[in-house]
Amino acid sequence: MKDITATASNRQARASQIYTRKRPSPHGVHKSSSTKTPMLYPTSAYLSRKSPRSLKRTRESQREAHLAALRREGIFIEDEYREEIRQYMHYMERYTACSAQSMDQQPEIRWHMRPCLVDFLVEVHFTFRLRPETLYLTLNIVDRYVSRRIVYIKHYQLVGCAALWIAAKFEDAKERVPTVQDLVQVCREAYDESHFIQMEGHVLSTIDWTLGHPTAEAWLRVMCCDPYPEDTRVQHIARFLMEITLFYREFVPYAPSTIALAALTLARFICDKRPQLWESTWDETPECLEVVEFLDIRLAKHVNDLSETVIKKYSYAFYSKAATHVVQWYLQGGRYQRPLASLP
């Protein structure tokens, strides 16, 4: 993959004049030492001292505040449509699924090349400060394309950039979408502008112009406010774990809803959330526990081999230093153990 560090500073200078600092910058997030962050999500110790009725009121008010924050971002999760939304999301994740078996048949592309492409896309995505959903939609588009078309090594990065371009147009505001000139620069002029335009059309026709893929990020947003909003650190650790799953073949066959639930389950365990505080309408399925096991094994054995780009991204305070917390937890010998079910 081509290096993009030379364009990062130029892009950052232009972005700082356009965007408010709501999303983390690739160059870090600076916080004033004199300000204190309000306790939007109280800790387990704090909640354990409250009566059940008071605890319920607290959680309901947290949920309303969380939903209001999502509405301000244009994300609507209304109770009266909840079941219909979930059913449609399940349908669409099946309809937009890729085939890992078909991807196995590629004549040149091998699975050990995937981490290099994903690492490149994560860095480009973070440099342009795109929405989290854009990254997951990008990889879904890449996987669906590679499932149906023969892709040669020299075109692998081109497919990835075209997919990112398509996903950004679908998910992000117009002013955040990278231009074709930006794509040429991040690829060090390995391809010219016509290549990106042609590949964009070819990818869209191959996937039948279907972009309404419910990403793992979209599922996590729903899960983290149903029935009550999840702790901020748990959410950030879950997002860190979900991005790790993008790199490896064993996670490709699983649905985004399964990936999100598995990441949330493991994140809760790492944060030592007590079982009685895990009440949710989302049950752990056998597939979810399989993904948790895959994640746990990979992190236990290869925690030092994780993508440096992802580690750096989630080491900022903006993400509650999720990467640092997870890496230290596994280096100290932490392993996932399924909590025993309580007797009726």
**Quick one: pLDDT at residue 42?**
54
pLDDT (tens digit per residue) in 237-249: 999 999 999 999 9
Query: How confident is the model over 1-19, as pLDDT tens digits?
Result: 545 444 545 555 544 443 4
pLDDT score at 82: 76
- Tell which wins on pLDDT, 331 or 227: 331
Q: What is the pLDDT of residue 287?
A: 94
Is residue 344 exposed (0-12), middle (13-18) or buried (19+ Cβ within 10 Å)?
A: exposed
Fold classification of 216-332 is Cyclin A; domain 1 (1.10.472)
Whether 98-212 shares its CATH topology with 216-332 is answered yes
98-212: CATH topology is Cyclin A; domain 1 (1.10.472)
User: Rounded distance, CA 306 to CA 290, Å?
Assistant: 20
pLDDT confidence of residue 311:
97
| pLDDT of 154 | 96
- Calculate the CA 318 to chain-centre distance: 15
User: For the chain, what is the mean pLDDT?
Assistant: 83
Q: Which residues of 222-248 are buried (b: 16+ CB within 10 A; e: fewer)?
A: bbbbbebbbbbbbbbbbbbbbbbbbbb
Confidence check: pLDDT of 314 > 60: yes
Among 43-52, 99-108, 253-262, the range scoring the smallest mean pLDDT is 43-52
What percent of the chain clears pLDDT 70, i.e. is strictly above it? 72
- Going from the C-alpha of 194 to that of each of 95, 174, 183, the distances in angstroms are 31, 21, 11
What is the token pair recorded at 35?
């300000």
Task: Look at residues 325, 334, 262 and name the one whose alpha carbon lies nearest to residue 293.
Answer: 262
pLDDT digits (tens, 9 = 90+) for 26-43: 555 444 444 444 444 555
Mean pLDDT computed over 129-152: 97
Q: What pLDDT, on the 0 to 100 scale, is given for residue 241?
A: 98
Distance between CA atoms of residues 144 and 263, nearest Å: 23
Measure the CA–CA gap between 250 and 229, rounded to whole angstroms: 30
Buried-state track 108-139, b at ≥16 Cβ within 10 A, e below 16? ebeeeebeebbbbbbbbbbbbbbbbbbbbbbb
Domain range annotation of the chain: 98-212, 216-332
pLDDT, greater one: 216 or 64: 216
Predicted confidence at residue 24, as pLDDT, reads 62
Give the separation between CA 128 and CA 165, rounded to whole angstroms.
11
pLDDT of residue 201: 97
pLDDT of amino acid 19: 41
